[in-house]
Structure 1
Amino acid sequence: MKTSQRVLLPIAFALTAGAAFAEGPIFVDPPFTSTLSRAEVRAQALEARDAGVFALGEGQTLVAENTVKSNLSRAQVRAEAAEALRLGLHNGGEITTFASAQQAEQIRLAGLRAAQGNAVVQIEGSVQAN
């Protein structure tokens, strides 16, 4: 095979392959024209917010009346989270861990200790009692 054929043949293939992909998108969305003004859309969004319905994207909605309020204090939640982390129950990435009954009781007791004011707090490897 001659040198000119070795060089020109791949260039010709590259040019024809590029032309095949240059025809444009397969389908085009039709142009969208809104029938509502910006103020009307904002008013609808505020009404939805006040009614407790929020759009989360991807077609999902969250209704505020289905949410549960916690009766735990901030200190209890922090103590329970620290205890769960200490027990290695931190869920991260695609790995999900579940607490055993004994671990769940340890976490609950850590929260109760925090609520009573005698929580044990770990700070950079040291343990301090409040």
Structure 2
Amino acid sequence: MNAKQIVAAVSLALAGSAAFAIEATQLDVPVSTLTRAQVQAELAQAQRNGTWIASGEATVFADQPVASTVSRADVRADARGALSADPFNALYVGA
């Protein structure tokens, strides 16, 4: 290899790695319109009604219990009916 090829290879490597220098999405944090007292009031309300989870993650949501309108026996009967109505498809099993 001569010096030209080495310089070209190094410059291509540096140019290619420069694309990884920034984050995939640049985060612009929006400015809050609430006062500190309003935020504290919302926090206290969420703690009282059980919708606040202290996990430190912004993407964790509280699971709200939902009362089922269908009995367990009805769900089992529907599952059995669906199982008997649909024939076994051999394409789903590796051959």
TM over 0.5: no
Task: Please give the TM-score of this superposition, normalised by the length of structure 2.
Answer: 0.43
Structure of higher RCO (CA pairs closer than 8 Å, 6+ residues apart): 1
* Greater Rg over alpha carbons, structure: 1
User: What's the TM-score once normalised by structure 1's chain length?
Assistant: 0.34
